[in-house]
């Protein structure tokens, strides 16, 4: 697998506090990677290290297969980013604001109109930014981040503070950037609902630790892996399962099985039937992704 971003034991310490603890982040090419974690989890700190804005205490960052510590300038030329609310000259127009940034990159003039079109701000290109809504400002920020034609976009909570329609606009824009231009995107958020609707892969960070990293489908599967069994003589049935080495929990007359394959579940059912138990019900607990996320992060903070 080709990774656009790959960190190795990436760590940041502030005094005694471990803000980011040994992260091995892997972002495959072309993916929208949702970097998810509650407030204070270490998302912005990680992103700052990925952008070379902050030195890691230890560990390494590779972007496009190159070592960020050694080829920083070369790498940053191909990254677009939006960290915190970008600042603009309010009395200048959208076009003029982009022009100031274009000069720094040395991007061609035509690129300004291109990026304004991509983010849907062509119609207001000649309007002063001071009259822009927050959503328009965020789109302008994304336009600015696209000026250098990046292969990788890194966006720290780009929908923070936006209303629902603003959020949908940004989401559609990012999906379009990934689909039409093949740009790999890292987007951070503290809201799973948001990541769920845009990301193709997910990394969950809690208290500086990466506690989950996989495709969004795997996260959905993970959240549905609990099977509930209702049988007669349930407590005795549970003891039988335990004695045969099955990892089962028991609560309120219900036996529950976690993280088992279909074959494992069939085996458990067979064992119970062969021992004379009546199985009234075998059902999958419908846990929402949100519950899974909450459980993951609360389990992690219990450590
Ligand atoms: N410059 C700094 N000096 C000291 N501590 C810091 C600094 N930056 C961040 N921290 C601490 O590191 C931890 C992680 O903060 P960070 O801003 O990376 O979290 P976050 O996931 O981005 O949170 P949020 O969702 O609130 O933006 C926090 O406990 C924070 O107080
Ligand atoms: Mg942050």
Q: Using one digit for the tens of pLDDT, what is the confidence trace for 144-195? A: 999 999 999 999 999 888 888 888 989 999 999 999 999 999 999 988 888 8
Q: Per-residue pLDDT averaged across 201-207, rounded?
A: 94
Residue 39 CA to ligand 2 center (angstroms) comes to: 7
Residue 131 CA to ligand 2 center (angstroms) comes to: 26
Q: Ligand 1 atom closest to Cα of 190?
A: 25
Q: Assess whether the C-beta atom of 40 lies below 6 angstroms from ligand 1.
A: yes
Q: Residue 92 has what DSSP assignment? A: S
In 92-247, DSSP assigns E strands to 152-155, 184-189, 201-206, 209-215, 227-231
Q: How many CB atoms lie within 10 A of CB 228?
A: 15
Closest Cα to atom 8, ligand 1: which residue? 45
The fourth-level CATH superfamily of domain 3-221 is P-loop containing nucleotide triphosphate hydrolases (3.40.50.300)
Phi, psi (rounded to 5 degrees) for 218: -65, -35
Confidence at 287, pLDDT banded by 50, 70, 90:
low
Q: Assess whether the C-beta atom of 53 lies below 6 angstroms from ligand 1.
A: no
* pTM of the model as a whole: 0.81
Q: Ligand 1 atom closest to Cα of 45?
A: 18
Q: What is the pLDDT of residue 100?
A: 95
Q: How far, in Å, CA of 79 to CA of 68, rounded?
A: 12
First to last CA, the chain: 32
Length of the chain: 303
Inter-helix orientation angle 164-181/110-118, to 10°: 120
Q: Per-residue pLDDT averaged across 263-292, rounded?
A: 88
Q: Per-residue pLDDT averaged across 248-267, rounded?
A: 90
Please report, for the chain, the start and end positions of each structural domain, with discontinuous segments joined by +: 3-221, 226-286
Closest Cα to atom 6, ligand 1: which residue? 14
Q: What is the pLDDT of residue 303?
A: 46
Q: Assess whether the C-beta atom of 231 lies below 6 angstroms from ligand 1.
A: no
Residue 41 CA to ligand 1 center (angstroms) comes to: 7
Q: Assess whether the C-beta atom of 292 lies below 6 angstroms from ligand 1.
A: no
């Amino acid at each position: 697998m080709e990774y656009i971003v790959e960190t190795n034991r990436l760590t940041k310490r502030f005094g005694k506090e471990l803000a980011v603890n040994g992260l091995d982040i892997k972002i495959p090419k072309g993916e929208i990677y949702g970097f998810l974690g509650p407030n204070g989890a270490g998302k912005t700190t990680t992103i700052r290290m990925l952008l070379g804005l902050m030195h890691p205490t230890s560990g390494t960052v590779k972007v496009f297969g190159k070592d960020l510590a050694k080829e920083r300038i070369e790498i940053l030329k191909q990254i677009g980013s939006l960290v915190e609310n970008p600042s603009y000259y309010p009395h200048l127009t959208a076009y003029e604001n982009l022009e100031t940034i274009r000069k720094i990159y040395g991007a061609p003039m035509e690129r300004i109109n291109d990026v304004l079109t991509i983010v849907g701000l062509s119609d207001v290109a000649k309007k002063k930014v001071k009259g822009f809504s927050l959503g328009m400002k965020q789109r302008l920020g994304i336009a600015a981040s696209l000026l250098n034609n990046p292969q990788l976009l890194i966006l720290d909570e780009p929908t923070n503070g936006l209303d629902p329609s603003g959020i949908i606009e940004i989401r559609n824009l990012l999906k379009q950037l990934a689909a039409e231009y093949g740009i790999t995107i890292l987007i951070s958020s503290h809201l799973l609902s948001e990541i769920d609707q845009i990301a193709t892969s997910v990394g969950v960070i809690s208290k500086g630790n990466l506690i989950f990293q996989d495709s969004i489908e795997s996260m959905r599967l993970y959240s549905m892996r609990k099977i509930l069994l209702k049988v007669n003589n349930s407590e005795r049935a549970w003891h039988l399962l335990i004695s045969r080495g099955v990892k089962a929990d028991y609560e309120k007359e219900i036996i529950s099985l976690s993280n088992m394959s279909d074959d494992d579940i069939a085996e458990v059912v067979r064992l119970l039937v062969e021992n004379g138990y009546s199985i009234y019900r075998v059902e999958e607990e419908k846990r929402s992704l949100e519950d899974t996320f909450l459980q993951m992060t609360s389990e992690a903070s219990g450590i």
